[in-house]
Structure 1
Amino acid sequence: MAIHLTKESRVLVQGMTGGEGMKHTRRMLAAGTNVVGGVNPRKAGRTVDFDERAVPVFGTVHEGMDATGADVTVVFVPPAFAKAAVTEAADAGIGLAVVITEGIPVHDAVAFTAYAKSKGTRIIGPNCPGLITPGQSNAGIIPADITKPGRIGLVSKSGTLTYQLMYELRDTGFSTCVGIGGDPVVGTTHIDCLAAFEQDPETDVIVMIGEIGGDAEERAASYIREHVTKPVIGYIAGFTAPEGRTMGHAGAIVSGSSGTAQAKKEALEAAGVPVGGTPTETARLVLTRLEAERAGNQA
């Protein structure tokens, strides 16, 4: 099994005919993703050749869904058009919209995440790398060749750290890796993914990567304490970040005593979550816990 994305997922790409859309559609196809169409109203009716695969272009998400049965869309449109693209996808009834675009105004993200939720569409992102279920499907920009299928679930604010942990644990493998994005407003939270991994029978250990800014990790710690029975290993980025300065992500900013890495680390440890000091140390904690789980199961 997996969370949110499987080999059965049928994927549309909004913005497929642009430079980034073309590049990453090719990579998604190479990873085995069932990309069934692109969306561009100015190029509707055409097909785009990706090596030996011809992918049709539709004028709207609704048309693409009707023709292909798509249930996932990946959004590569520029920031100014992202709100309209996500709203269109939600109106069409798509189940999952993966919004890769960065630089989307916060008021647009607030509007389209709330609207999508009202329509029953899950948003991952914005400003995220997407998600991958290794060996099954890859929706976004995560490199597919740095890991393999396994039993670790990963949820992360940071795309780069998602890749780092995938590589560190490449010989062990993952059930699903989800990059939720680092903007102040995101459609899917750490808690959403923790809940999904808790219910996934093929996830044994969960890795949660957070960073400075906001209180998402503290809220996740409270959720873990009350609702998660599987082992969780944490990592927090930003211990050396200067106060008041945004570090890469729009949501990664410390103001006063709020949102510090130390506060997040302490909250997670109080909930029984070991927190690594580096990605490599975090990976070692994961392997140690997996070994303990396996030993316990064999006893």
Structure 2
Amino acid sequence: MTILIDKKTKVIVQGATGHQGSFHTKLMKEYGTNIIAGVTPKKGGQEVHGIPVFNTVKEAQDFNPADYSILFVPARFAKSAAFEALDNGLNLVIISEGIPIHDSIGIMNKAKENALTVIGPNTPGIISVNECKIGIMPSHIFKKGKVGIISRSGTLTYEIVNELSKNKLGQSTVLGIGGDPVIGIDFIGALKLFEEDHRTEKIVIIGEIGGDLEERTAKFLKNYSKYVVVYIAGRTAPPDKRMGHAGAIISAGIGTAKSKINKFMSVGIKVAQLPSEVVRLLK
């Protein structure tokens, strides 16, 4: 088992004819992801790396129904593209960054109404190793194994995955939940799925400053059945200054690295001081 996606998952790419969409469509296809169609308005009838392109999501779904859509569209068009996918029964991976918070709230509300999953926005995506990749993660660093990873940070994900792979600690599914203040599936939602996944034995959470998601996650982990290791980025970040992601900001003393680390430690979760320490804590 894996979580959310596997080798049977069928995917469409919204924005497949753009530079980034085309580039990553090729890489996802080469990894083995079952990409069945692209969607770009007014580009229907074209092909991208042998994949047919349609004008609308409905046309693509009528051609061959998919399970997920990945969005490579400018932020100003993300809401309408997401709504189009959700209206056609598709789960979403939203790569786009800079989406207005109000638009993201609308996307999440619609997904909830339709009982569909949203990964992101501002995410590197998701990979179930050696089965399916929906996103922009560098495929070569992943090795199949029994460690699940949930992360707010793309770059740190790659660093920690690379260290795990070099130390023969392979991964089951690696999920980037996104760095924006409003996201779809979060740490807690992913942890629930990993708890039911018999292939995942240990879990790494990569958090960062800003918001209270990590604090709420620590409370959830109090009675969790699997072994979890945490790393929190942004220990030296000054108050009221955004660091990288839109969600990575400390305000009025809330969301500090110290508060998050203390919450995890208070429920018995081991917290790495450096990304390189994650390997040691997992062994």
Which consecutive residues of structure 2, in runs of 5 or more, have no partner in the other structure? none
Match 2:132 to one of 127, 133, 137: 137
Distance 1:172 1:44 in 2: 43
Residue 271 of structure 1 is matched in structure 2 by 267
TM-score (norm. length: structure 2): 0.98
Distance 1:21 1:271 in 2: 42
Residue 297 of structure 1 is matched in structure 2 by none
Which consecutive residues of structure 1, in runs of 5 or more, have no partner in the other structure? 289-299
Structure 1 residues 95-145: Cα deviation after superposition (integer angstroms, max 9, x where no partner): x20000001011110111111111122100000100001100100101111
Match 2:58 to one of 55, 62, 81: 62
SS state at 1:182 partner: coil
Residue 247 of structure 1 is matched in structure 2 by 243
Distance 2:281 2:44 in 1: 50
Paired letter, 1:58? F
Alignment of 1:1-299 (within 5 A): 1-48=1-48, 50=49, 54-94=50-90, 96-170=91-165, 171-226=168-223, 228-286=224-282, 288=283
Tell me how far 1:47 sits from its aligned partner: 1.6
Structure 1 residues 255-299: Cα deviation after superposition (integer angstroms, max 9, x where no partner): 12200001000101112110001110112211x2xxxxxxxxxxx
> In the alignment, is the contact (CA less than 8 A) between 1:33 and 1:139 conserved in 2?
yes
SS state at 1:183 partner: coil
SS state at 1:253 partner: coil
Distance 2:56 2:111 in 1: 17
Paired letter, 1:110? I
> In the alignment, is the contact (CA less than 8 A) between 2:239 and 2:253 conserved in 1?
no
SS state at 2:214 partner: helix
> In the alignment, is the contact (CA less than 8 A) between 1:183 and 1:251 conserved in 2?
yes
Aligned length in residues: 281
What percentage of residue pairs aligned between the two structures are identical? 47
Distance 2:201 2:62 in 1: 37
Distance 2:271 2:100 in 1: 32
Paired letter, 1:183? D
Paired letter, 1:256? A
> In the alignment, is the contact (CA less than 8 A) between 1:12 and 1:73 conserved in 2?
yes
> In the alignment, is the contact (CA less than 8 A) between 1:180 and 1:188 conserved in 2?
yes
Paired letter, 1:18? G
Q: CA RMSD in A?
A: 0.8
Distance 1:141 1:117 in 2: 25
Structure 1 residues 190-249: Cα deviation after superposition (integer angstroms, max 9, x where no partner): 0010000000000000101100000000110111113x2000000000000011100000
Distance 1:135 1:61 in 2: 27
Distance 2:119 2:81 in 1: 14
